[in-house]
Amino acid sequence: MENKNERRREEILRISGVNPRKCMKCGKCSATCPSYDEMEYHPHEFVYMVESGELAPLLESKSIYKCLTCFACVERCPRGVEPAKLIEAVRLTVIREKGANHLKADDIPAKLDEEIPQQLLMSAFRKYSK
Amino acid sequence: MQRIGVFVCHCGTNIAGTVDVVAVAEALKNEPGVVHSAEYQYMCSQAGQDLIKAAIKEHNLSGIVVCSCSPRMHEATFRKTAAAAGLNPYMVEIANIREQCSWIHKDMASGTEKAIILGKAAIAKVNLNTPLTPGESPVTKRALVIGGGIAGIQTALDIADAGFPVDIVETKPTIGGKMAQLDKTFPTLDCAACILTPKMVDVAQNEKIRIFSYSEVVDVRGFVGNFDVTIKKRARYVKEDICTGCGLCTEKCPQKKVPNEFNLGMDNRRAIYIPFAQAVPKVATIDADYCTMLKTGKCGVCAKVCTAGAIDYEAKDEFIEEKYGAVVVATGFNPISMDKFDEFAYNQSKDVITSLEFERLTNAAGPTAGKLLRPSDGEHPHTIVFVQCVGSRCEACAEKGKEYCSKICCMYTAKHAMLTRDKYPDTDVYVFYIDVRTPGKAFDEFYRRAVEEYGVHYIKGMVGKVSPEGNKLKVQASDLIAGKQLHIDADLVVLAAAIEPDKSARGLATMLTASMDTNDFFTEAHPKLRPVESPTAGVFLSGTCQGPKDIPETVSQAGAAASKVIGLLCKDKLTGNPCVAQSDEMMCNGCSSCERVCPYGAITYSDKEFRMPDRTTKIRRVASVNPAVCQGCGACTVACPSGAMDLNGFKNNQIMAEVDAICKM
Amino acid sequence: MQEVMRDKLVAKAKELLTGGVVTRVLGWKRGEFCYDLTPGIFKSADELDKEFDFGDFAAPNLSKYLIDETRKEDGKVAVFMKPCDTYSFNQLLTEHRIDREKVYVIGVPCEGMIDNKKLSAAADGIKNVAVDYENVVVETLWDGNVTVPRESVLAERCLNCKSKKHVALDELVGYEDEITECNRFDEVARLEAMTPEERFEFWQGELSRCIRCNACRDVCPACTCEKCVFDNPSSGVESKAPSDSFEEKMFHIIRAFHVTGRCTDCGECSRVCPQNIPLHLLNRKFIKDINELWGEYQAGAEVGSRAPLVNYTFDDMEPSEAVERGDKNA
Amino acid sequence: MKVTYFPGCTLRTKAKELDRYAHAACNALGVELVEPDTWQCCGGVFSYAKDEIASKLPSVRALIDARDKNEPLVTVCSACHNVIKQTNHQIKTDADFAFRMNNYLAQEKDAPAPYNGETKVLHLLELIRDEIGFDKVAEKVQKPLTGKKIAAYYGCLLLRPSKTMQMDDPENPKIIEDLIRVLGGEPVIYPARNECCGGYIALEDAESAKKRSNSISDSAAAHGADMIITACPLCRYNLIKNGSKLPVVYFTELLAEALGVKEDNDGE
Amino acid sequence: MQDVTNFKPLIVAFCCNWCSYAGADLAGSNRLAYPADVKIIRVPCSCRVNPMFILRAFQRGADGVIICGCHPGDCHYTSGNYYARRRMSLLFSMLDYLGIERDRTRVEWVSAAEGAKFAATMNDFVEKVTALGPNKRLEDLRCKK
């Protein structure tokens, strides 16, 4: 168990390329986050919890689907930590598991409307499915 | 061939306990060049020294080796002894047979054997020693202080107080620097002008001090004790010696739309101006970029109203050449540009200001006569948000912010917050911080008073974005303790901008061959032990040009720099260390390798003519070392591919002889 | 085989001489044998016609000779340079050894030079040589025509050519070219991968052949000291005769160290070594280390660049790490 | 001037106007937009996982096509631009990624020469500013947008991450405002112009997208704008779908209008 | 075969005057023993150590050479040890390349306060060099038997 957690942590750090130790805990990422109210765990908490190995709550949290990858946190972080990349990596460790796609093709028809651009479907699939 | 005397010290039993000193003296007797060998209880005692002096005379010694304690202990002693007996002090070598032999080895046999080898190495070296005479250079008894802020002012006053003439070069039309722009000073809250302007007057009235205002240093040559400096005095189009500072011209000038830099552009001044009421020198200056007369030749109002006849539209830049013994750099700082931090909307709203602008907004001599009013509409702000660390501790991007902590922001922000709450109790004041750093006498107490007595809201977290909406500034921020994202409708946002060294510092460092760190702060000769000296001899550092500092620190460093300058100027002649590098021009390639590794800028090049064996002449570029500047590290000797560069006292062949002596078994 | 022919260079040299742009031309001179080109100064059209040569044996790097030439008072000297020679030229400019104002650099493209030691080994009694892309046809005194693949007799440095672009130039005769692949550090890496015993064995075998003829030093464009430490009695390492003493053993280490960061890897040392000692492998080791430890550095690529040994950063690697670093690669 | 043009999937379906007016305007400006023979959808979003290769192949193929023609690669859709520029940047800066990507390409039929980020990626806005020049555009304006108060909406994709996108100041951009001025309109500066519209969250959490989109259109309206212009089909969709009070149009449409080539292309 | 049991190596230590030589003095003052095989040569700065000195020592029979200087950042002359660090990196790497045992050379930063470190360093270095035995290779580099 310990081992699996540690492996996951390393995987998250590897695929994101983020070094959470650079964080100086100023909270500017969460100050800047447009999805703050929708999230249970916020960008700075992702950074802190990945660093401390507290992955389970993050992996189970809906917060990983609420990040818009708008990169405001990345842009404004004074230390170059790039929290959005870390959140994406956490999400990927979930949806890369077998059968763990968050968005399935079958869900789509119900959500379609006349005007939906292809871009939206493509983006959502990329973000929520493997 | 040298005539060498060897003197082996017992140091009581300190040496004699584990080294057979008699055997050492006996063994060294037969080394090449040795004509005399003796041992004695305490060589460093008066009797021991007398014994050495007598031997030098009796045996006509040309060099001596003392086998004793560490040279760090008594090398100077024995050099004096030798000099007293008429021997060049640099013909003395010490074999360290105490700290590096008797004290660490238990066994008499191996201790003795090693002591003999160390003695042989010292003898081998002395055989190659040559008498050295320290170079002497005169000292020009005048100091130059570059920068006329509080650091430069304090340094100049202290040097002048000791009786030495000092020149201050200041780029602005007046001295005073940043401190003149401040309102109150932490943690005592005394008014900056009240404590600074008397000092400015002292400077003006001090007969030893000359002020070159509106001037800059354009060239520096020479070395410690002997700097030749060229100062450019920019044309101010007003004769300084005639202008009385009455200020009539500054009221009548028709060009009213010049941004007033003293108030950071928050109001306007005229094209002819005196920066502020207590300016020193109190003379007017014409801003050539805006003056209609200078630009078009039509106007001349100031000349008409000046009863003293001080206006001179024909004035030209003047160049002054002066000699100095010491140079003090006091170029200070500036807040960084907020252009790259527009998430705080500095460029999008007039009501987002920097802390220095806030100082002017609360200063009685400022654009609002000391009333805290919003720059956009002149209304009194009811909610003020202070943001700390804007651009400080910022590692993300080099062209954006600074990696270091600017040190002064925590305290001045606490001051601003406290003063605002004191004067306007109806205002809500928020301070967003990452850490509050208040090391300093009565500093933390000050910050706590802001929180506890004045009710300033300190919130751990950073502001993410400031959005100007209507006449409000919507501030979106983190409250990390409460775990909330805050949204505050503010009337005024104040940014604690990071500070950086003045832009002029880099060019100056090049002229002075003084080193700088990656942030363009001047480097000190030693971070702990020589904090006010540059590694370049004769160049001293005062104030924030060396690193972020508050006023008390700046003033103490300014005084320390002054005392170092005084110590230098007190000397009539500088006696150098003769163990300096020396270039053999016959072998020098002129390749510049040595110059590039020299931390002191001691090496220069010139083209010299050499007569060749075939009677032709050849011109070659060759290096020469200024012995007054060289500190004798030897970096150049290894960088030199041809071996033309050598170090007196530690010559290649001397060290090689030591190696040979040690390895000859 | 070379794309640009001798006649074109001669014409260019004559034009510069008659036009008064230069007073003399530094180029390659025909020697005793067809493969024996040496540096030469040409002052007239006549001399050029008679003695100037260029081709697959124009190996000598002429940059070093400019030190003396530019100290002479009489006007400008034109010099022909292959791309790799221009690196040495720039390095000498960096070291203030040459007065740039007095030189007119004519760039000559290079398709690779033939190593006459390799050629002599392949064919005995060389009378004449014809070269095309693929082959070298040697007319010999005794064996008739001997044909060998060109690649087999190309100089080592040309097989691992580092650049076909001139980095210093006043005028180009011909064209510039690109290098697609350069594996010049492969041989160093191969040695690094050996055990210390094998390496010792290798170098002992190579360096034992040295006869201390000083040819490597004399040809080296970095070895331009007014007085070499090995000729200087006060340096402590002076010695001229082959002996068993210190400098004899350490000569090549010290020489390589003295040119570190200044050596452009022109390969002249190995070219002239009569004992075929691969001296360039010492220099290349230093270059490889420099690149790996402190970032890519090519001496002579840029005039005025700061050589790695007269530079530093605060977080350079420690010597112990620098030495052990290789183990991880292996 | 001839450039390689990557339209992207949405420009062929729901955002035909964005494409059509881009062609019309470029025609008027003397720029020929040439599509590669084949191209595939960029994927809509750039994957930040370092080990993600396959989803970036379409971008690389387009980049190679432009490289082989020695032309810049131009996009108009913000999303395509963001994905392709970031992919190009990753190839240039991440040697491991470049190595694996090239290995991948080497397996293909008619494998192209290894790609190392040589192509210059330009958004049409950048092409106008940096290659054509605003002054040249100003000369060609036929029907200035006089009196129109226009709010430029950047969103996140054009500007961020700014180190990679290098288009403009991420916090206080001006490229679209400058264009509006050149076209004779009056730009409206409002703080939400670089905020996110919600993007793909529309499919996951419509409420969240609504909140984001409304805050943007409300901010633009509050600052007195008559209309919002954008370069991104998804931004436009989110703003309109969530009830923007202001019309939302593509910047290419305004450009074509000012250049006097809009009508000719309407209803094609 | 060498008589390894009685082998006493010859070690030359170059110490900078300001830090390491003072550190060696401190080791002495604190009576921290290290083998008498170590002989110290005082130089003003580690940057004064010419690679020629090191090679000379080996050639004349030294079995190990160690250079001690101030810690990076603490150089009395501000930058000398940074140059020394680069020079020694290259020199040692070259000796390794020629097949000379790595443990015969070392650079160690010892401050004036680190008497204990100085003694410990010397003890360790002597132990490593003793284990290697006499320095035959460098001497034999040119003498193929």
Q: Choose the most confident range, by mean pLDDT, from A111-125, B81-95, B570-584, D107-121.
A: B81-95
With touching defined as 3 or more inter-chain CB pairs under 8 Å, the answer for chains D and E is no
Residues D164 and D100 grouped into a single domain:
no
Tell me the C-alpha distance between D251 and D182, whole Å. 13
pLDDT at residue number C240: 63
The Cα-based distances of B116 to B40, B112, B377, D109, E28 in angstroms read 16, 6, 88, 80, 18
Last residue of a domain, one of D124, D151, D171: D124
Residues B229 and B246 grouped into a single domain:
no
Query: How does the average pLDDT of chain E come out, rounded?
Result: 89
pLDDT at residue number A105: 85
Mean pLDDT of D34-61: 92
Residues B356 and B427 grouped into a single domain:
yes
Specify if C319 maps to a domain. yes
Mean pLDDT of B462-473: 95
- B249 close to B306: Cβ distance less than 8 angstroms: yes
Residue C243 has pLDDT above 60, yes or no: no
Enclosing domain of residue B343: 334-500
Specify if B664 maps to a domain. no
Rg of the Cα atoms in chain C: 21
Mean pLDDT of B307-317: 96
DSSP letters spanning C295-317:
----TTSSTTPPPGGG---TTPP
pLDDT digits (tens, 9 = 90+) for C42-87: 999 999 999 999 999 999 999 999 999 998 877 899 999 999 999 9
pLDDT digits (tens, 9 = 90+) for D48-89: 999 999 899 999 999 999 999 999 999 999 999 999 999 999
Using the Cβ of B460 and the Cβ atoms of chain D, whether some distance falls under 8 Å is answered with no
Nearest Cα of chain B lies from the Cα of D198 at a distance, in angstroms, of 17
* Coil vs helix vs strand at A60: helix
Residue B398: band (very low, low, confident or very high) from pLDDT cuts 50, 70, 90: low
pTM exceeds 0.90 for this model: no
pLDDT digits (tens, 9 = 90+) for E109-128: 998 888 899 999 999 999 99
Residues D118 and D59 grouped into a single domain:
yes
User: Which value, to the nearest 10 degrees, does the dihedral of the CA atoms of residues A36, A41, A42, A48 take?
Assistant: 170
Choose the weakest-confidence range: B419-428, B545-554, C118-127: C118-127
Q: Closest to B590 (Cβ–Cβ): which among C96, C258, C310?
A: C96
Tell me the C-alpha distance between D54 and D65, whole Å. 18
- D253 close to D13: Cβ distance less than 8 angstroms: no
DSSP strand pairing (B215-223 vs B226-233): antiparallel
Enclosing domain of residue C137: 116-153
Specify if B326 maps to a domain. yes
Per-domain residue ranges for chain A? Answer: 2-97, 102-130
Enclosing domain of residue D163: 143-254
CATH number assigned to the domain comprising residue D237: 3.40.50.11810
**Residue in C69, C91, C102, C225 to test binding to B, most B beta-carbons within 10 Å:** C225
pLDDT at residue number C71: 86
Using the Cβ of D10 and the Cβ atoms of chain A, whether some distance falls under 8 Å is answered with yes
Please give the distance of CA C39 from its chain centroid, rounded to a whole number: 13
pLDDT at residue number E142: 46
- C314 close to E85: Cβ distance less than 8 angstroms: no
Residue B221: band (very low, low, confident or very high) from pLDDT cuts 50, 70, 90: confident
pLDDT digits (tens, 9 = 90+) for D165-197: 999 999 999 999 999 999 999 999 999 999 999
Q: Would you give the DSSP letter of residue D127?
A: I
Tell me the C-alpha distance between C229 and C212, whole Å. 14
Specify if B301 maps to a domain. yes
pLDDT digits (tens, 9 = 90+) for E32-71: 999 999 999 999 999 999 999 999 898 888 999 999 999 9
Choose the weakest-confidence range: B526-530, B537-541, C110-114, D127-131: B526-530
Residues B429 and B300 grouped into a single domain:
no
Residues C161 and C247 grouped into a single domain:
no
Residue A2's identity, in one-letter code, is E
Specify if D263 maps to a domain. no
The residue behind tokens 């020695």 is D70
Residue C274 has pLDDT above 50, yes or no: yes
Specify if C298 maps to a domain. yes
CATH number assigned to the domain comprising residue D22: 1.20.1050.140
- The CATH code that applies to domain A2-97 is 1.10.1060.10
Specify if B661 maps to a domain. no
Neighbours of D, requiring at least 3 CB pairs below 8 Å, are: A, B
- D261 close to D17: Cβ distance less than 8 angstroms: no
Q: How many CB atoms lie within 10 A of CB B576?
A: 21
Residue E2: band (very low, low, confident or very high) from pLDDT cuts 50, 70, 90: very low
% of chain C with per-residue pLDDT over 70: 95
Contacts of D11 (CB under 8 A, 6+ apart): D18, D19, D76, D77, D233
Q: How many CB atoms lie within 10 A of CB D38?
A: 9
Mean pLDDT of B160-165: 98
Q: Closest to D162 (Cβ–Cβ): which among A75, A88, A127?
A: A75
Overall number of domains in chain C = 3
**Which residue on chain C is closest to B656 by alpha carbon?**
C236
Tell me the C-alpha distance between B345 and B339, whole Å. 9
Please give the distance of CA B415 from its chain centroid, rounded to a whole number: 29
Specify if B310 maps to a domain. yes
Specify if D205 maps to a domain. yes
Residues B13 and B70 grouped into a single domain:
yes
CATH number assigned to the domain comprising residue B82: 3.40.50
Residue B536: band (very low, low, confident or very high) from pLDDT cuts 50, 70, 90: confident
CATH number assigned to the domain comprising residue B480: 3.50.50.60
Q: Regarding predicted confidence, which is higher, E81 or C4? A: E81
Contacts of B61 (CB under 8 A, 6+ apart): B3, B4, B5, B35, B36, B55, B87
Whether the CA torsion B633, B634, B638, B644 is positive or negative: it is positive
Residues C219 and C317 grouped into a single domain:
yes
Neighbours of E, requiring at least 3 CB pairs below 8 Å, are: B, C
Asked if the Cβ–Cβ distance from B396 to A44 is below 8 Å, we say no
Residue C330: band (very low, low, confident or very high) from pLDDT cuts 50, 70, 90: very low
Structure tokens that stand for D201 in this block: 């969250």
Kindly report the CA angle at C102 between C101 and C106, in degrees rounded to 5?
A: 95
**Which residue on chain C is closest to B619 by alpha carbon?**
C71
Residues 401-460 of chain B with CB under 8 A from chain A are 401, 434, 460
pLDDT digits (tens, 9 = 90+) for B567-593: 999 999 988 889 999 999 999 999 999
Per-domain residue ranges for chain E? Answer: 11-135
Residue A12 has pLDDT above 50, yes or no: yes
pLDDT digits (tens, 9 = 90+) for D144-158: 999 999 999 999 999
Asked if the Cβ–Cβ distance from B641 to C225 is below 8 Å, we say yes
Residue E5: band (very low, low, confident or very high) from pLDDT cuts 50, 70, 90: low
Residue D33: band (very low, low, confident or very high) from pLDDT cuts 50, 70, 90: very high
DSSP letters spanning C152-217:
HHB-HHHHT---SS-SS-SEESS---------TTHHHHHHHTS-HHHHHHHHHHHHTT-----HHH
Asked if the Cβ–Cβ distance from A75 to D49 is below 8 Å, we say no
Left if phi > 0, otherwise alpha if psi is -120 to 50, otherwise beta: which for B43?
A: alpha
Residue D90: band (very low, low, confident or very high) from pLDDT cuts 50, 70, 90: very high
Specify if B217 maps to a domain. yes
* Coil vs helix vs strand at B440: coil
Specify if B659 maps to a domain. no
pLDDT at residue number C328: 52
Specify if C165 maps to a domain. yes
pLDDT digits (tens, 9 = 90+) for B332-389: 999 999 999 999 999 999 999 999 999 999 999 999 999 999 999 999 999 999 999 9
Mean pLDDT of C160-170: 92
The Cα-based distances of C156 to A101, B497, C109, C152 in angstroms read 58, 59, 18, 10
pLDDT at residue number C245: 45
Residue E139: band (very low, low, confident or very high) from pLDDT cuts 50, 70, 90: low
Residue D264 has pLDDT above 80, yes or no: no
DSSP strand pairing (B581-583 vs B645-647): antiparallel
- The CATH code that applies to domain E11-135 is 3.40.50
DSSP letters spanning B519-574:
TSPBPPSBTTTBTTB-SSTTEEE-GGGSS---HHHHHHHHHHHHHHHHHHHT-SEE
% of chain B with per-residue pLDDT over 70: 99
Contacts of B492 (CB under 8 A, 6+ apart): B351, B352, B353, B374, B381, B383, B384, B385, B473
Q: How many CA atoms lie within 13 A of B9 on its CB side?
A: 28
Residues C164 and C26 grouped into a single domain:
yes
- C221 close to C266: Cβ distance less than 8 angstroms: yes
Residues D116 and D158 grouped into a single domain:
no
Residues C245 and C263 grouped into a single domain:
yes
pLDDT at residue number C103: 96
Residue B90 has pLDDT above 80, yes or no: yes
Please give the distance of CA C267 from its chain centroid, rounded to a whole number: 4
Using the Cβ of B467 and the Cβ atoms of chain A, whether some distance falls under 8 Å is answered with no
Q: Choose the most confident range, by mean pLDDT, from B406-415, C308-317, E14-23.
A: B406-415
With touching defined as 3 or more inter-chain CB pairs under 8 Å, the answer for chains D and B is yes
pLDDT at residue number C133: 84
Tell me the C-alpha distance between D250 and D232, whole Å. 8
Structure tokens that stand for C121 in this block: 């080994």
Specify if C177 maps to a domain. no
Residues D118 and D14 grouped into a single domain:
yes
Asked if the Cβ–Cβ distance from C249 to E94 is below 8 Å, we say no
Overall number of domains in chain D = 2
pLDDT at residue number C326: 65
Residue C208: band (very low, low, confident or very high) from pLDDT cuts 50, 70, 90: confident
Residue B537 has pLDDT above 90, yes or no: no
Query: How does the average pLDDT of chain C come out, rounded?
Result: 90
pLDDT digits (tens, 9 = 90+) for B239-284: 999 999 999 999 999 999 999 999 999 999 999 999 999 999 999 9
Residues B245 and B393 grouped into a single domain:
no
- C29 close to C39: Cβ distance less than 8 angstroms: yes
* Nearest in space to B192 (alpha carbons), one of B149, B240, B251: B149
Residue E6 has pLDDT above 90, yes or no: no
- B540 close to B512: Cβ distance less than 8 angstroms: no
Q: How many CB atoms lie within 10 A of CB B28?
A: 23
* Coil vs helix vs strand at B326: strand
Asked if the Cβ–Cβ distance from B395 to A76 is below 8 Å, we say no
Specify if B446 maps to a domain. yes
**D199 contacts in chain A (CB < 8 Å):** 68-70, 120, 123
Nearest Cα of chain B lies from the Cα of E99 at a distance, in angstroms, of 22
* Nearest in space to B157 (alpha carbons), one of B111, B105, B201: B201
**Residue in C277, C286, C320, C329 to test binding to E, most E beta-carbons within 10 Å:** C320
Residues B310 and B278 grouped into a single domain:
yes
Whether the CA torsion B402, B408, B414, B415 is positive or negative: it is negative
Specify if D161 maps to a domain. yes
Residue C244 has pLDDT above 80, yes or no: no
pLDDT digits (tens, 9 = 90+) for B76-89: 999 999 999 999 99
Nearest Cα of chain A lies from the Cα of D60 at a distance, in angstroms, of 17
Structure tokens that stand for C151 in this block: 């690649």
